[in-house]
Amino acid sequence: MKFEFEEFETIEEILLYMVTIAPMMKQVLTVNVYKGYTFAMIPIAPFSGEPILMVYAKKAVEPGLLEFDISTQKYRKVTSMERADRSYFVVTQPKQNTLADQAIAQLEGKK
């Protein structure tokens, strides 16, 4: 599997990036926390599945539902989706993620 990488310093930068590339009406997006990385995997060529872009920060965020305000570039943990003017992220923390394992191995092998 071929991976491309885009690294950010903060969780807010990842969330901002994800909001800007998401389809217009998509209000809920998924982000993963795994092995010290917070990331999203995005297929660059959706029909072939390769390469995959891993957008990440070497920081962890608590799993759950996050509300992100693009105007202030701040997020907070919430229990429900209440506002149409905000974007929401479901943060998952898988026990095992073989695709992420491959990407992290490539990433850490480059450093």
Q: Determine the structural domain holding residue 33 and report its residue range.
A: 3-110
Structural domain count, the chain = 1
Tell me the C-alpha distance between 54 and 69, whole Å.
23
In 3-state terms the chain splits into helix, strand, coil percentages (rounded to 5) of 20, 40, 40
Beta bridge partners of 75: 68
| 70-95: pLDDT as tens digits | 899 999 999 999 888 889 999 999 99
Which residue, 25, 12, 56, is CA-closest to 38? 56
Query: Encoding tokens for residue 107?
Result: 């990433």
| 13-39: pLDDT as tens digits | 999 999 988 766 667 889 999 999 999
Query: What pLDDT is stored for residue 21 in this prediction?
Result: 84
Tell me the C-alpha distance between 29 and 32, whole Å.
10
Query: What pLDDT is stored for residue 41 in this prediction?
Result: 92
